[in-house]
Amino acid sequence: MIKTLNELLSVKKLNDKLWKIVVLKSYCSTLQAMLNEIFSSSNVNLNYDSTKSIISEMKNLVYNMTKTLCEYLFIKRVKRIIKES
């Protein structure tokens, strides 16, 4: 059982002023109660998935790379057509 916040597995401050806290699921309700006691306006999201933003960023990266490749191939094809005509 968690007695102090120093006993948490991992606490990390994120760039968007949020905190990422790794804790066993069995301790979630205890942690939520502790945080509400310390920070009355705290909001604990037990379903937070840190990979969602990474997946979104990867989709955007792949889209941009694909778009750039298509543009490059289109320009190459246009140059070849112009050269052959």
Phi, psi (rounded to 5 degrees) for 47: -105, 15
Residue closest to 44 by CA, chosen among 55, 60, 28: 28
- Residue 67: the pLDDT is 92
pLDDT tens for each residue of the chain, 85 residues long = 556 656 666 667 777 677 777 777 777 888 888 888 888 887 777 777 767 777 777 888 899 999 999 999 999 999 999 999 8
- Residue 7: the pLDDT is 61
CA distance 7 to 34: 12
- Residue 65: the pLDDT is 93
Q: Which helix (H) or strand (E) holds 11?
A: strand 10-13
Which residue is it, tokens 């990867």? 58
CA distance 29 to 16: 24
- Residue 29: the pLDDT is 82
